[in-house]
Amino acid sequence: MTNYELMFIINPTLEEEKKNAVVEKVTGIITNGGGEVSKTDVWGMRKLAYPIEKKEEGYYVVLEFQAAPELPKELNRRLRISDDVMRHLVINKDAR
């Protein structure tokens, strides 16, 4: 299995329980896809470098996980169509 890091920014207008539900949904996608989440780091509200969807802040979350190479493609697809996730980035930590 390959080591990956996922950073995603959640819409800041969501309620706290919905933000937690989005984090649980993403970890569920990883675990149901055969991956294993090793670390969840919630950074919380941060100012964005530039406005996204007319918003100046976002709720940042970083996940470290191990998975097969096919899982990040599915994760990208699911996060791209999610209305709650403003931006995301998956990095292969082993490709350095």
Write out pLDDT tens, residues 29-61. 999 999 999 999 999 999 999 999 899 999 999
**Confidence label for 95 from pLDDT (cuts 50, 70 and 90):** confident
Give the H or E element holding residue 73. Answer: helix 71-80
Given its phi and psi angles, is residue 39 left (phi above 0), alpha (psi -120 to 50 degrees) or beta?
beta
What's the domain range around 73?
2-95
Predicted structure pTM score: 0.90
Domain count, the chain: 1
Say which CATH number the domain at 31 has.
Answer: 3.30.70.60
